[in-house]
Amino acid sequence: MPALLRIYLTRGLIAIGWAAGFAAVRDSLSAPTVLLLIIYPLIDVVGSLLDAREDPGTPARKLQIFNIALSALATLGLGLSAIGGIGAVLFTFGVWAIVSGVAQFAVAVRRRGPELGRQWPMLIAGVLSVIAGVTYLPAAVGAGPSLSMLILYTAAGGTFFVLQAVSLAWRQRRTRGLAA
């Protein structure tokens, strides 16, 4: 559990930091903006790789491997969609948010149990990812799409990872206290 706790905490803090950095460059598809757009799903790839390593032989691991492939495709898709403009980027991000949100929810459901808790932060984050992704699709084809929508999404997602890490730390400390 300590490794999973570190993965969640690090992933959450990096996502929050990413959101802060993206807020400074979100107004156009400049080189720094596109670079950050490509980096964000790579964060998910690395986090999911580390997570899958800690979860061998479980049904959740198969979903993590799926998410690795999905996020790698999202990296490529976001890089290519930047050529098409902000609307194309929002659409690509929206599709990724929907599918990865479903996968995140499914992983959380499969991990629910005495050792890892009820996984409420991850369940909520998965559902909110799907909802956010669905809202990006019409925004992508609407008048004046904006990348600003991504800031709240990534900051909230990061916050839920941090909350899950706190929950795991609390559970670990409580378990140690009961064992003593």
In which band, very low, low, confident or very high, does the pLDDT at 114 lie, cut at 50, 70 and 90? low
CB 20 within 8 A of CB 54: no
Task: Look up residue 126 and give its amino acid.
Answer: G
Percentage of the chain exceeding pLDDT 70: 95
At residue 25's C-alpha, the angle toward residues 35 and 147, to 5°, is 85
In which band, very low, low, confident or very high, does the pLDDT at 131 lie, cut at 50, 70 and 90? very high
Burial class (CB in 10 A: 0-12, 13-18, 19+), 65: middle
Measuring CA to CA, which residue among 16, 21, 31, 24 is closest to residue 79? Answer: 31
What 8-state DSSP symbol labels residue 113? B
In which band, very low, low, confident or very high, does the pLDDT at 180 lie, cut at 50, 70 and 90? low
| pTM for this prediction | 0.91
Q: What is the pLDDT of residues 61-105, one digit of tens each?
A: 888 899 999 999 999 999 999 999 999 999 999 999 999 999 999
